[in-house]
Each structure stands twice: as C-alpha cells, then as structure tokens.
Structure 1
C-alpha cells in the first residue's frame, strides 16, 4: 500500500502527549496519525477534528461509509495541509471484502455528502455555520488493484486547518463497533475524554444529529432510545476504553435533554474490553446483556 509513513503504536503502548508549539496553540493537524489505521487487523490512531465529530450531517452515512471516510481522512491526515491530491490503493480500503463493489457505492455517497459545521470564521472571528461537502473531486482507476485519488474541499480544509480540538480514534476499536451510531457515540466521547469535565447536556435534536440519525427516522423519543441510544451505549460500554452514561432530562413528562457522562475504565475493565474485542462477534450481544445502562423517561442524571 502506498500510504503515509506512520509511527507504529503497539496495543499496550501508552500514548505520549504531543509536543506543544512554542508560543502558539496546538492545532489538530499538529497531531499525527500513527500505526496502521486502514488495516482492521492492526492497531492505529486516527485524528479527527472536533468540527467533523460534533457535526450536523445532512447526508446520513451508514457504518461502511463512516469508516471509509475515517480511512480517507487518516490516510491523508499527516500531509493534509500540504498535499492537494491524495492517493490510496483501493484494496487497502476494502477490509475483509473480496471485491470493490462496496467501495464504488461508498465513493458515490461520499462525493454527494455534505454537512453543517460550526467553526470560527477566520475573517470575522465570530462563530459561524459552514455548509461543506465532505469530499472533493476524485478519480478511481478502473482496475481492481488500482488507486483512488481524492481531494478535500477548500472550505473544509480551511476549517480543519484552524481546529484546536480533536478526537483520537483508536482504529481497532472503531472496526469492532458494528453500528454507525456506536461509532459516532465513540467519537463524541473520544473528543471529550481529555477535557476538564466529565459530563455534558444536549438537546434531543443535537444528539440525533451527532449520531447521524436521518431526518424523519426514529422521531419518537421511545424509538430513538430503543433503536439508537441503547444499542450504541451497549456497544461502546462493552468494547471501548471508557464507560458512558446517558440519562433523560425531563420537563414535565416530556424529555427535553440528554445528560451524557463519561469515565475512564479501570485497568481490569480495560483488559476485559480488550479481550472482548479479540473474541468472535458471535454471541457478543448476549455477553453484554444486563450491563446496558437503561435510559428511561423517568431517569434523572446522576
């Protein structure tokens, strides 16, 4: 694979803090992708700026498309500010798939995907909402073992270049998560886990947008809770390096907000999550039954 050179990161290696720029803030692009994030069989670290995590996605992406976008971002990341066109072997994006059929459709979907991103306007200094496409012009070689050439839109690159907050996504955990909602919840917490706080409140609409719930789907809170929140919470708590709690905050009988709290796991629980990721997916849901934090209408944040 013709890819960006990265530093190997072993499974049990402790990540060292990135060096801070002298006399300046640390930017997301100062942090480097490491390991082998395009290979589900190896450990890697993906850097994803806050603006692409806390996103209002107007073109919903499924799990495969979400992972593919993270792969393209990771492959380009270490040179994203200096290299206008990136190229990657299509075979390196396939995962366990034997053909490129999945990739063709996913490239089409990403080409048309766009989102609302809140970021600071460099010209005015004020916060603004940017409407941007997630992927720029691209070219795919016809042969199965060919390259995919791609770019990112200038407006998106401008937002990325000034980002000062990011999620450090562990690729081996991302691949283990089987739902797009789980991946998005995992990214949300990875973006916040190093902050000087352990909880945050969101409106229902904000949380739906961040998890990538399609407009017009799961409109009732009970359905959103049952088919999105609870399954995502179960997977994240079972397979990642932290514990997440989500509680419904009511006004009268109506759910007004969601209160999310997150905590790093103990060494024993970290080892248990690691061991679970190494096991077959068969029977995994049954193994976490009974350990999912219940989100009910009557539950109050702790």
Structure 2
C-alpha cells in the first residue's frame, strides 16, 4: 500500500459503516486484489451484489450464511445457467490480499452455496463468505462508497475496476495522484495475462473505454498519464478530482439515458464494436 492510499486516522470499522441510499460500501481489501483478472464483468457484478447483501457486522462472523432471492440477481444475470457459471468462477478464483504489515493472504471470493433449482427463475441462493476472508475483513477500516446506479451502467469490467479503485481514493485529503508500475496497473484493471500486451492495445481497448465511462457517469474525473523509461511505457500516473455541481448533474443525466449511443454522445464520434474479450 502506498503512502497515498494508507488509511488516515480512522478507527471506525468498515463493516460498521452504514451506506447511504443508492450506495454500497466495499472494503478496500476487496477492491485491489491480485488474481481476479479472469473474472468477467458479470462475475464482478455478482460478487458486488452478494457482498452488498451480506454487508454489515455479521459479515465477519465465521460460519455465517446468507440468503438472497434469485430475482435480486437479475441485474447481473438473465439466465440461471450464466449465474451458475459466475458462482463457480467466484468459488475457484483465489486472490491475494496484502496486509498493512506487508504479509499476504490468499483466499477464495465465495464459499459454500446452494441454489434452489437452477432451472427455475424463482428461488433463493444461499451462500457463505469464506471464513478466512471474513476474518480478514473484520478489522478493515478503509473502504469505498460506490454508487449502485453507476455500477449497473458500466459495460466494461475495466471501467468498473477503475471506478472502484478511484472511489476508495477520492475522499483522501491533499492527495490527488498516484503512480503505478504498468504491471500493477494492468492488474488493477483486471487485464488477463497475455491480453492487450502492448501499451497501444491496452490504451485503446482498456484505458480509454474505462476513462470514457467513468468520467461520463461518476461524480469524479480521472486521468491516466503514461510514464516512460526511455521509449517504453513502464508506468502510469493516475489523477482524480471531484466534479462540480454541473458535472454531477451531467453525469446523472447521462445515467438516465440509454446505453445505446453513449459513446457518440460523450465523444461526438461514431461508436465502434469492441472485441468480446475487451467488453468482458
């Protein structure tokens, strides 16, 4: 954890924070994890919904099980077959989380679960947060407040990842930038190993689409400036800032409009199709 993201004087536990209406609170430990690059946008949305439903002091209790109506997962999946795929992706994804003392935990994102009759649209999903992850979150004091409407509007997992990363920083006082090594920034965005390997492709298919959506839909602005060693891009400098009232009004207005034509409205250009692996 860099100095810019190290928690300031704050003894309030993340799990005791009450989200405002239309928000979810997400512990910082679950925002910038390593090993989650193969999760799709749908997988990440499902995890956020399950986390939001379980959020609170009970989340840190070992052995605690939660239950959510399958109908409440429709914002992430239209079919139960796809839902099962995302559940299994979360169960088999092992992420590494770095503690403030420099040690590293390796944990799964989702534990035991039971889906009542996956052939039916109605029913419930019972699930648990892995006990090791629950214990890790117990003492969390750093978090992001995420707007649910903004989370639902993203069409790229890169935009969702960038939004979450900046949302946990934008409330910091006197800190408006942070440097990342290029490999760390790729991990932050969720770029899979072997994909978008050149900076040109990374910029075109991940960074620019993410910036377009985050800057158009959120309450803050983000910039990503490449930094070179010689001729090679080896890192980026991320900058952020809160929007003024007119900027927030414009973002809200765009959220109310259909996704179709959004790029053209924002950039004044004709929309182009992105490769499927970029959208996911």
TM-score relative to the length of structure 2: 0.87
How far apart in 2 are the matches of 1:210 and 1:151? 25
Change (3 A) 1:136 1:96: closer
Q: Does the alignment pair 1:26 with 2:38?
A: no
- How far did residue 178 of structure 1 move? 1.0
How far apart in 1 are the matches of 2:205 and 2:77? 27
- How far did residue 105 of structure 1 move? 1.4
Q: What's the counterpart of residue 155 of structure 1?
A: 132
- How far did residue 34 of structure 1 move? 4.5
Q: Does the alignment pair 1:89 with 2:69?
A: yes
Alignment equivalent of 1:184, drawn from 161, 170, 180: 161
Q: What's the counterpart of residue 134 of structure 1?
A: 109
Q: Is the 8 A contact 1:91 1:100 kept in 2?
A: no
- How far did residue 174 of structure 1 move? 0.5
Secondary structure, aligned partner of 1:80: helix
Secondary structure, aligned partner of 2:202: helix
Gaps of 5+ in 2: 1-8, 270-280
Q: What's the counterpart of residue 242 of structure 1?
A: 220
- Alpha carbon RMSD of aligned pairs, Å? 1.8
- How far did residue 269 of structure 1 move? 0.9
Q: Does the alignment pair 1:230 with 2:216?
A: no
Secondary structure, aligned partner of 1:130: strand
Secondary structure, aligned partner of 2:67: strand
Alignment of 1:221-300 (within 5 A): 221-289=199-267
Write the deviation string for residues 218-267 of structure 1: whole angstroms up to 9, x where unpaired: 11111111110011011111111111011011111111210000010110
Q: What's the counterpart of residue 116 of structure 1?
A: 96
Which protein, 1 or 2, shows the higher relative CO under an 8 Å CA cutoff with sep ≥ 6? 2
TM-score relative to the length of structure 1: 0.81
How far apart in 1 are the matches of 2:94 and 2:211? 26
- How far did residue 24 of structure 1 move? 7.6
Secondary structure, aligned partner of 2:59: coil
Q: What's the counterpart of residue 51 of structure 1?
A: 29
The structure in which a higher percent of residues are helix is 2
